[in-house]
Chains A and B, each alone.
Chain A
Amino acid sequence: MRGVHKRFGGVVALAGVDLSVAPGEVHALLGENGAGKSTLMKVLSGALEPDAGTLELDGHGYAPRGTLQARRRGVAMIYQELSLASDLSVAQNVMLGAEWQRAGFLRREAMGRHVRQLLGSLGHPEIDPDRRVAELGPGARQLIEVARALAHDAQIVVMDEPTSSLSADDSRRLFELTRRLAERGISVIYITHFLEEVRAVAGRFTVLRDGATVVTGAVAEHDNDSLIEAMVGRRLQEAYPSLPHEAGEVALELRALSGERLPQNASLGLRRGEILGIAGLVGAGRSELLRALFGLDAVRAGEIAIAGVRDRGKPPWVRLSQGVGLLSEKRKEEGLLLGRSIVENLTLSRLEPARRGLLLDRGRQRQLAERWIEALQVRAGDPWASVGTLSGGNQQKVALARLLHQDAELLLLDEPTRGVDVGSKAEIYRLILELSSQGKAILMVSSYLPELLGICDRIAVMHRGQLGEARPRAQWDEASLMAASSSGVAIPEIRAHG
């Protein structure tokens, strides 16, 4: 791809991108949200036509009209949000759009064998082609997407933040899989925010910033600092800021809390001004713990005490009135009304201050929202623009701003930096620390261990619905968190204090 340009109305999305990927190479594509990665990949996959620039595939000119043509030329996309038909079987999904047939009838036997062989060649013969996709976990689903790409004879596979919904284990398997693809001579373009992943899988990389190629080179010849600098265009003072904050009164106490299935017997205590992190694998029940606590999922047994007031589960609007706020891990499905405006999204959970008598004062509502748009530096032209038009990082800021607007005293943050660019991440960390120094209590679930170790005061690990003891962060490191997450029993080595 050479000199690719693309503009939408007055917004320049791509301003001269060069990208070249060799056969059998894993090429990392880096950049903040809004840097143009997604647009570039849409051009590659035929979803968008570039305004200028040339594309070549195997030395031939390549100008796909539509995604179907791109797929026929061997370009396969694996999106962040998995695109599988969950009611169909594994085999049906893999062969979707490339079904084998004879005289109008499906060759089910032959396809089944083919899919079995494909899965085997990817190192996962244990997946049954006849199972319904709905019964599989996120890791297996990802694998099916990859198998589908192979079934379509892909030459180039684009993975867009493939690990964002995967546990650490599944991620490792995905890296292995990526290497296998490369060994077959397939080019992989790997989009990610995680520099660790770049080091784990990619040989070369390209950094995009503001729609243009900033730097490209071999991963081994660049350190993380220089990569981050290339992405954000400035040097981050420190990835994890620190701010003094002190633990005060007890804000939350859970006693043997059990949900419908998960969590089981979870107990914990959290004080004001404290940040408590929960680590664990995807599916361990961390989100379910927050949801049960907030009243989105049923509480089967146990007790919740918020600021000393005990109950056995209350609906969300009661929790809100108690000063509890939840940031959903599923920003698009649950966290935001994508079709509605920033103002509405921001103020929805607390409309009272915008009310005059029975009526709502739109101007006042907007003022309330603008205060937070400014404070969190949400980059948006018009506060009445729909949230769906914002970048991932800015969407997350709107979701967080809602908790600030409702003036929550106890914040339940579920994967607060998922799908957020490096620059916004640092801003979110700073914000969390500021909140804790104002005496707010924060319970934070994250699958990204460095951030847990970076900003939490204490960390507990959840394993198969069981919540372990919360320990000061100094007693943990990545290895011990990982071990406790995957086995549940490993007790971290307690280092000598000081």
Chain B
Amino acid sequence: MAESNSERQRALLRRLMQWLGPFLALLLVMGLFAVLLPDRFLSSYNLRTVATQTVIVGLGALGMTFVIISGGIDLSVGSTIALSSVVTALLLRDGHGPLLALLSALLAGAAVGLCNGLLITRARIVPFIVTLGTMGIARGLAKYLADEQKVNAPAAGLGSLMAKLPEPSWLLLSPGVWALLVLAALSAMLLSRTVFGVHTYAIGSNESTARLCGVPVERRKLVIYTLAGLFAGLAGALQFARLTVGDPTTALGKELDVIAAVVIGGGSLAGGSGGVLGSLLGAFLMAVLANGCTLTGVPNYVQEILVGAIIIVAVAVDRYRHARP
């Protein structure tokens, strides 16, 4: 028993190590800002603001986690967010209810994801190229639907989803943040505790082995990319809720933030590794950094340099950790 105990401890330690890098970085950055701006940064209002600012990239990162673990990439996330936000705005403008608008946003996102999946599995084009293509197509489509301008629409209840101070106040965090947390928990469960999750890791680790073991690789990929689209669709609806305007040029280049979040959280672009908690930490870390830099009045370019450095350091630390058993 002692043996299996120490074994369990080692396994636990290994798992902890995986989160340790991003977690330490987060603590470090938060500690730094807490010292620099003791009352403003750590105020509950500001922390809620940061949490709300994490939602969009965080949702994208959930979907991207599945994609990257399976050995793929999705560059169309930013454009999909824009498309969904425009779809949401158009429906609300035309007098439809918020629920229908939300569902349509999800549908639009899922449709882009499904297209990605179909092109990758049927036409056998590499994910990078497919999603580079749909990145342009979805962005263009959003601009076409919005007539190349911002779509003004009544928020119709959707606005409260991303309110920094939620109604009712006992929610503590805005509904968008809760949605992110609940979906993150579900995604984590899906990844680590279901057959689908095991298959996702297997495909990213070695696709031919997965095929040999009877994993329906194509079907799984279809689901993975559709799921990523679905998350981007929800992010789009919430982006509308935040801006209360459907903007076809919003979230430009957001896919890179999303990919960065996953990579900082331990995801490898070679596939086979990564996790939801890490991705979430990565997304939160970037939001904290953006917020802290704004509060301290550090210019934007410093923030960009910092995020860039963190990505590189995160991957370097990961390499080092993998190099020694």
Interface on A for B, CB 8 Å cutoff?
296, 315-317, 319-321, 326, 328, 333-340, 344, 348-349, 351, 355, 358-360, 362, 382, 384, 389, 402
Contact = CB atoms under 8 A, between A and B. Distances in A.
Contact of B214 (A317, A336, A358, A362): A317
A326 B212 contact: yes
B216 A317 contact: yes
A349 B214 contact: yes
Contacts of A320: 213-214
Given A315-B216, A316-B213, A349-B213, 16 more contacts: A296-B211, A317-B216, A320-B214, A333-B206, A333-B208, A336-B209, A337-B202, A338-B206, A339-B206, A348-B210, A348-B215, A349-B212, A355-B195, A359-B193, A359-B194, A384-B11
B304 interface: no
A296 to B, nearest CB: 7
A276 B11 CA distance: 43
B293 to A, nearest CB: 37
Contacts of A296: 211-212
B182 interface: no
A316 B214 contact: yes
A348 B199 CA distance: 8
Interface centre among A326, A333, A359 (most CB of B within 10 A): A359
A309 to B, nearest CB: 17
A335 B211 CA distance: 10
A336 B207 CA distance: 10
A337 B7 contact: no
A389 B325 contact: yes
A295 to B, nearest CB: 9
Contacts of B325: 389
A15 to B, nearest CB: 20
B198 interface: yes
Contacts of B273: 339
B201 A340 contact: yes
15 contacts: A316-B214, A317-B215, A328-B209, A333-B206, A334-B208, A334-B212, A335-B209, A335-B212, A337-B209, A344-B198, A348-B210, A351-B198, A360-B194, A382-B10, A402-B213
B189 interface: yes
Nearest to A348: B213
B272 interface: yes
Contacts of B211: 296, 316
Contacts of A389: 325
A382 B7 contact: yes
Given A334-B209, A382-B10, A340 B202 contact: yes
Interface in B193-232: 193-195, 197-198, 201-202, 205-206, 208-216
A344 B199 CA distance: 10
Contacts of B11: 382, 384
A27 B114 CA distance: 59
Contacts of B215: 317, 348
A339 B212 contact: no
Interface of B: 7, 10-11, 189, 193-195, 197-198, 201-202, 205-206, 208-216, 272-273, 325
Contact of B194 (A337, A349, A358): A358
A197 B272 CA distance: 39
A399 B58 CA distance: 38
A360 B195 contact: yes
Contacts of A315: 216
A389 B11 CA distance: 16
A360 B211 CA distance: 20
A287 to B, nearest CB: 12
Contacts of B202: 337, 340, 344, 348
A452 B11 CA distance: 42
Contacts of B208: 333-334
B205 A337 contact: yes
Contacts of A358: 194
B213 A339 contact: no
Nearest to B273: A339
A319 B272 contact: no
Nearest to B216: A317
Interface centre among B198, B201, B210 (most CB of A within 10 A): B198
A-B interface, 9 closest residue pairs, ranked by CB to CB distance from nearest: A320-B214, A349-B213, A317-B214, A337-B205, A334-B208, A348-B213, A359-B193, A351-B195, A316-B214
A265 to B, nearest CB: 26
B214 A339 contact: no
Contacts of A338: 205-206
Nearest to A321: B214
Contacts of A336: 206, 209
Contact of A360 (B198, B206, B209, B212): B198
B272 A340 contact: yes
Contacts of B201: 340, 344
A348 B202 CA distance: 8
A167 B10 CA distance: 45
Contacts of A348: 198, 202, 209-210, 213, 215
A361 to B, nearest CB: 8
A355 B197 CA distance: 12
Contacts of B194: 358-360
A90 B7 CA distance: 50
Contacts of A362: 193
A349 B201 CA distance: 13
B57 to A, nearest CB: 28
B5 to A, nearest CB: 13
Nearest to A327: B212
A435 B127 CA distance: 42
A167 to B, nearest CB: 23
Contacts of B206: 333-334, 336-339
B189 to A, nearest CB: 7
B86 to A, nearest CB: 35
A317 B202 CA distance: 15
Given A359-B189, A389-B325, A339 B198 contact: no
Contacts of B193: 359-360, 362
A339 B209 contact: no
Given A340-B201, A340-B202, A316 B272 contact: no
Contacts of B197: 360
A339 B205 contact: yes
Nearest to A319: B214
B61 to A, nearest CB: 22
A308 to B, nearest CB: 21
Contacts of A382: 7, 10-11
Nearest to A351: B195
A328 B10 contact: no
A12 B189 CA distance: 40
A369 to B, nearest CB: 13
Contacts of A333: 206, 208
A359 B209 CA distance: 23
B146 to A, nearest CB: 40
B156 to A, nearest CB: 35
Contacts of B212: 296, 316, 326, 328, 334-335, 349
Nearest to B219: A317
Contact of A339 (B195, B210, B272): B272
A462 B325 CA distance: 44
Nearest to B272: A339
Contacts of B209: 328, 334-337, 348
Interface centre among B7, B189, B213 (most CB of A within 10 A): B213
A328 B209 CA distance: 9
